Structure 1
Amino acid sequence: MFKSSSNLADRKVEELIEEDLKEFSVSDYKVGIGQVSVMGLEGLEKLREELNQKLETARNEKGLRYLLLMITDLLEENTDLWIAGDSPEEIAKAFNEPLNQNRVFLPGVLSRKKQVVPPLTKYFLG
């Protein structure tokens, strides 16, 4: 189920975005949610600028309202959710978590289907 990489810095950013990308319809919006599972978040900050740029490019190319990338740390059992979209604060509100540089830290979140899609659906349909 999970593909993991111990070192994010060794991977191409495009691979991180496309590796496990699924698209969902939420209300009138199309949202893409990718997930990469890792053993520790080391090296992530070095990719920040490039990752944000490539997420936005991919979002525009795919015609998505939002493109989210879950970088899930299997050791610590949490997710760093990266957000590309016009109003990333909407995503932060859906999880009731603070937005930090177009990212939301989600402690205890490992599952896209069970823990990420439901709060988004509730927020956008609510």
Structure 2
Amino acid sequence: MSTILVFGHRNPDTDAIGAAIGLARLEQALGQDAQAVALGKPNAETRYALDHFGLKAPRVIERAAPETTDVMLVDHNERQQSVADIADLTVHKVIDHHRIANFETTAPLYFRAEPVGCTCTILTRMYDENDIPIPGDTAGIMASAIISDTLLLRSPTTTDADRNALAHLASIADISPDAYGTDLLRAGTDLGDAQPATLIGRDAKSYTMSGTEVRLAQLNTVDPTDILDRRDEFLAAMRAEAEHAGYDLFLLLITNVLTTDSDVLVVGDPLDAVDAALTVTIRDGHAFAKGLVSRKKQIVPQLTRALAQ
């Protein structure tokens, strides 16, 4: 077997990067020639975590071949979220915490999907199950992933397994989850001088729901007015991207990490399905959704059902 490349989804977040590092190092400890890579550059939040724990960002790839045909996936399984040549590769493992869709293989594999808040929560268990100690820097980036995906354990996706894993990892990494976690989340809200066309792709995933092509993007902030004051610019960028890429619906969540509420910008059709799924009324491309923070739990299942009707 050639070198196994381990990677998360496109437009990687902290879990996609942290889980790739975590699984690659676990596989190495088990005797495999595994290497963490990424399908995009780390965002500001992930860079903060990598720098804090002295880790180098995984190198970015667009295709796995001809370098290798052997891969492992973390934090995703849907093909449209994966590497460009995924159909030509042998997937040996999948570790994920999302829905399972648009995924099939020609050979048996190890597939582990659990309804927890973060992929790194599952990986923490896997280290324990294999009696492999977690290095301090690995524990740090994995703890960062749990903090990020669960908004410091405040997201509705949070489970007791996430709480236990974060406490364990934080002890190894010698961090205070609250103090470090607050700094990490704030680092992720720095939008810098980036333009709307760039920002809407910073943390975005694509889905096919009952034949409807859906794009769900999310921006975390401590002050949503900075983005909402430029609402028309963001909506125009979303329309342009939807037309270019063929998305029927494009949703952008502007999530306040302090209040755990979101403003939602929407372009495309059918808008009535979005209204029904999120229990909101979209007016002029905008709605406020109290308590909405999770694409995985609060949007994807509900919108999938609404579009199927």
Alignment correspondent of 2:60: none
Q: Where does residue 67 of structure 1 map in the other structure?
A: 250
SS of the residue aligned with 2:226? coil
Q: Distance in 1 between matches of 2:235 and 2:192?
A: 15
5+ unaligned residues in a row in structure 1: which ranges? none
The share of aligned pairs that are identical, in percent, is: 26
- CA-based RMSD of the aligned residues comes to 1.8
Give the AA of the match of 1:5.
Answer: T
Q: Which of residues 88, 92, 108 in structure 1 aligns to 2:271?
A: 88
Match of 2:227 in 1: 44
Tell me the amino acid that sits aligned with residue 98 of structure 1. Answer: T
2:100 maps to what in 1?
A: none
The whole-number CA distance in structure 1 between the counterparts of 2:247 and 2:290 is 26
Matched residue, 1:35: 218
- Report the alpha carbon displacement of residue 10 of structure 1 after superposing the two structures with TM: 4.1
Larger mean Cα displacement after TM superposition, 17-26 or 35-44: 35-44
Aligned equivalent of 1:4, options 162, 167, 188: 188
Structure 1 position 122, deviation (Å): 1.2
C-alpha distance in 1, partners of 2:193/2:260?
A: 22
Conserved 8 A contact 1:9-1:46: no
- The one-letter amino acid paired with 1:29 is T
Is the Cα contact below 8 Å between 2:266 and 2:285 reproduced in 1? yes
* 1:122 maps to 2:291: no
1:69 maps to a residue whose letter is L
- How far is the alpha carbon of 1:116 from its aligned partner? 1.0
Contact in 1 for aligned 2:277/2:299 (Cα 8 Å): no
Q: Show CA shifts across 1:31-68 (max 9, x none).
A: 00011111121222321111111100000111011011
Where does the alignment leave 5 or more consecutive residues of structure 2 unmatched? 1-13, 15-147, 149-186
How far off is 1:101 after superposition? Answer: 1.6
Equivalent-residue separation in structure 2 for 1:123 and 1:24 (angstroms): 14
Q: 1:102 aligns with which of 268, 272, 285?
A: 285
What is the match of residue 13 of structure 1?
A: 196
* Alignment length (residue pairs): 125
Greater C-alpha radius of gyration = 2
CA distance in 2: counterparts of 1:124 and 1:108, whole angstroms? 22
Structure 1: which 4+ aligned runs deviate by more than 3 Å? 8-11
Higher RCO (C-alpha under 8 Å, 6+ residues apart): 1
Give the CA deviation at 1:9.
7.9
Question: Is contact 1:72–1:79 with CA below 8 Å preserved after alignment?
Answer: yes
Other-structure match for 2:294 = 111
Instruction: Tell me how far apart the structure 2 counterparts of residues 117 and 24 of structure 1 sit (CA, whole Å).
Output: 9
Displacement of 1:12 after TM fit?
1.3
Tell me, yes or no, if the aligned pair for 1:9 and 1:47 is still in contact at 8 Å: no
AA at the equivalent of 1:74 = V
Aligned to 1:75, the other structure's residue is in SS state coil
Amino acid paired to 1:78: D
Question: Which stretch shifts more, 67-76 or 93-102?
Answer: 93-102
